[in-house]
Amino acid sequence: MYRNSVLLVLASLGIGNAQLNPNQGAAMMRFACSQLVVERLDPLVSPGVIGSPHVHQIVGGNSFNASMAPVAYDPPSRSTCTSCTFSEDFSNYWTAALYYKARNGTFKRVGQFENGGLVQNGGITVYYIPPYDGVSNVTAFRPGFRMLAGNPTLRSTAGESRGICHRCFEGDNFTPFGGAPCTGNDTSALPDHFCAGGIRTTVTFPTCWDGVNLDSPDHQSHVAYSTIPFEPYYEPLATRPYTAAQERGKCPEGFPVKLPQLMYEIMWETRPFNKKELWNEDGSQPFVYAMGDATGHGQHGDYIFGWKDDSLQRAINARCRNDKCKELKSQSNEAAMSCTVPQTMKEDVEGNEWLEELPGGVMVN
């Protein structure tokens, strides 16, 4: 079963096409990052604030803190462990937590299950994807670099970032797997029907950088999405063979530096709630992101780079695949899972005994 899901994952990402095109292979890094902490802290959008507007689930280096000033605050030198497989990766990755809202108006946090072939305690699956042509180089993020994908205030498709979506697994064991993220039946909204195999969220970040600013006031305008994504698996199967490699990943004017494609996957354990009487009386879906978003359009991801020295650049240049890479130091799943930090903003974010309101008093809107 384990092997099958890995093969399914790889096949769906286009890796199987290497047979057709021996010089092209999606040599993407794909690895587990377990839960570091779940809390209302956001050093990117709300620096210094203990009790940011909504709950995040955070993974990566244990120097995660309310204030992480670019460059001055150096995650590799301040961290003593990371919840990610590659032990030189002290970056922090986070997304909004998801809640189940019961008919009586109380909340409980939705848990997470392991992604295909990985062993992790909740958290996020992280991808760094190089250009698919197998030869073009990308520039790894610089110390102090950070960015945000998506917009927590969105409640409709208007203004959405490319590549943030939900996949409803209609059967168990990631079936049917479907194509690339955000193709096929994937929706930017939360699914409107029971997902027998749970829900996956994908968050895709921009790959073009202005080459100057480590951050920007909205944490987005120093980066841009490429004109054509450089990963061919974003194209529907019907349009293959793919756009010429040199056309892929072309950056818009003003963003000359090509970055690796950073992508997150989060696997939501919504299966315990697949009962008619647990959904809303009008039949609508009962899940709400921590910012009070019952639509799903506000899902977003945050990133603070924190790889030690030039380890990420070396791994990408070497076209490392998945979670094994001879350029990098790895740690055991147990060691990664044991790296956690206590909440700075101490409060119940789980709702095992049910929460009267979303943490921070956030209203569903």
Ligand X SMILES: *[C@@H]1O[C@H](CO)[C@@H](O)[C@H](O)[C@H]1NC(C)=O
By CB under 6 A, what part of segment 67-86 binds ligand X? 67, 78
61 binds ligand X (CB under 6 A): no
178 near ligand X (CB under 6 A): yes
Q: Which stretch binds ligand X (CB under 6 A): 12-20, 109-117, 176-184, 213-221?
A: 176-184
Q: Does 104 bind ligand X (CB under 6 A)?
A: yes
Q: Is 137 in the site for ligand X (CB under 6 A)?
A: yes
Contact 271, 198 (CB under 8 A): yes
Q: Is 65 in the site for ligand X (CB under 6 A)?
A: yes
DSSP of 189-221: SPPSS--TT-EEEEEE---EE-SS-S--TTSST
Contact 26, 286 (CB under 8 A): no
User: Of 104, 84, 2, whose CA–CA distance to 303 is shortest?
Assistant: 84
Q: Is 317 in the site for ligand X (CB under 6 A)?
A: yes
Candidate list 7, 102, 214, 228; residue touching ligand X; CB under 6 A: 102
Total site size for ligand X, rule CB under 6 A: 18
Q: Is 239 one of the binding residues for ligand X (CB under 6 A)?
A: no
CA 193 vs CA 62, 171, 280: distances in Å: 37, 13, 12
Residue 106 lies near ligand X (rule: CB under 6 A): yes
The Cα 245–Cα 164 span in angstroms is 23
Q: Which residues pair with 330 in a beta bridge?
A: 86
Among 11, 71, 172, 176, binds ligand X (CB under 6 A): 176
Q: Does 46 bind ligand X (CB under 6 A)?
A: no
Tell me: does residue 185 bind ligand X (CB under 6 A): yes
Give me the least distance between CB of 112 and ligand X, in Å please. 20
Cα separations (Å) of 98 from 163, 170, 227, 355, 364? 19, 20, 31, 13, 12
- 241 is a site residue for ligand X (CB under 6 A): no
Binding residues for ligand X, per CB under 6 A?
Answer: 63, 65-67, 78, 102, 104, 106, 135-137, 170, 176, 178, 184-185, 317, 354
